[in-house]
């Protein structure tokens, strides 16, 4: 498939400046759980980063909604795998904004990961219904449950989690290295059970 055909099917991938690879952004307004948490003071979605700054530019919003529609297309799985391989990156982040929409959507992400076995995939989510399906995820996909509240302890029942801390305990080194991942790959690393981010 030509690059323009791939872009037509999937929409473009994004390249967050702090990350070592590419990502796929969906609209934060359409997050199923996140939409509710955005209203909850003290939650990790309150003041959502993806609802401000350049994320609210019309062109960015249009691209996010185009991707959201794209996930429903029959060719999306194969085209996404081709897009990821075309960019030759070993690390892929699902949803630099937005979240999983449905079980069908999750199953498609599993298929994309299986079609790209040499790529490390990281899927953060606030969707608790995903838990029973985590054990069926391909080995190259780390699903991290993002704890809903700031300073909430990591849930032991999930194999991989992320937390947000307002005080000591941050393990993400990005703020100490120009807000970039640098050599760190903890979010993608299945050996890392929890990643603690600092509160912005
Ligand atoms: S899940 Fe992420 S993108 Fe969605 S509302 Fe929460 S912080 Fe924002
Ligand atoms: S923990 Fe590491 S990989 Fe994850 S966001 Fe922070 S610097 Fe990047």
Report the mean per-residue pLDDT for the chain. 96
Q: Collapsing DSSP states into helix, strand and coil, what is residue 198?
A: strand
Residue 50 has pLDDT above 90, yes or no: no
| Phi and psi torsions of 132, nearest 5° | -65, -15
* Ligand closest in space to the Cα of 55: 1
CA-CA distance, 26 to 68, in Å (whole number)?
6
DSSP 135: G
Report pTM. Answer: 0.96
> 97 CA to middle of ligand 1, Å?
6
Q: Residue 198 in contact with residue 172, Cβ under 8 Å? A: yes
The proportion of the chain whose per-residue pLDDT surpasses 90, expressed as a percent, equals 88
Between CA 16 and CA 19, with CA 18 as vertex, the angle to 5 degrees is 70
First to last CA, the chain: 41
Which pairs with CB-CB distance under 8 Å and at least 24 residues apart come from 174-179?
174/18, 179/18
Per-residue pLDDT tens over the stretch 130-164: 999 999 999 999 999 999 999 999 999 999 999 99
> 196 CA to middle of ligand 1, Å?
16
* Ligand closest in space to the Cα of 44: 1
DSSP 154: P
**Ligand 1 pocket list (CB less than 6 A):** 28, 31, 34, 37-38, 45, 48, 50, 97-99, 126
Q: Residue 27 in contact with residue 64, Cβ under 8 Å? A: yes
Residue nearest to atom 8 of ligand 1 (CA): 48
> 89 CA to middle of ligand 1, Å?
24
For a mutational test of ligand 2's pocket, the pick from 174, 180, 196, 197, i.e. the residue with the most ligand atoms closer than 8 A to its C-beta, is: 174
């Amino acid at each position: 498939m030509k690059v323009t055909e791939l872009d037509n099917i999937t929409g473009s991938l994004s390249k967050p400046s702090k990350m070592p690879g590419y990502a796929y952004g969906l609209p934060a307004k359409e997050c199923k759980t996140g939409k509710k948490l955005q209203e909850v003071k003290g939650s990790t979605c309150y003041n959502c980063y993806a609802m401000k700054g350049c994320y609210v530019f019309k062109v960015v919003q249009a691209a996010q909604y185009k991707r959201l529609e794209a996930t429903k297309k029959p060719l999306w799985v194969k085209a996404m795998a081709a897009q990821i391989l075309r960019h030759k990156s070993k690390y892929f982040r699902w949803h630099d904004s937005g979240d999983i929409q449905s079980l069908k959507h999750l199953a498609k992400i599993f298929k994309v990961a299986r079609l790209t076995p040499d790529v490390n995939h990281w899927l953060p989510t606030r969707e608790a219904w995903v838990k029973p399906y985590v054990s069926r995820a391909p080995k190259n996909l780390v699903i991290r449950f993002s704890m809903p509240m700031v300073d909430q302890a990591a849930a032991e029942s999930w194999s991989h989690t992320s937390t947000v801390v307002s005080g000591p305990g941050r393990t993400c080194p990005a703020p100490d290295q120009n807000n970039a991942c640098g050599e760190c790959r903890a979010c993608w690393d299945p050996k890392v059970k929890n990643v603690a981010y600092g509160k912005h």
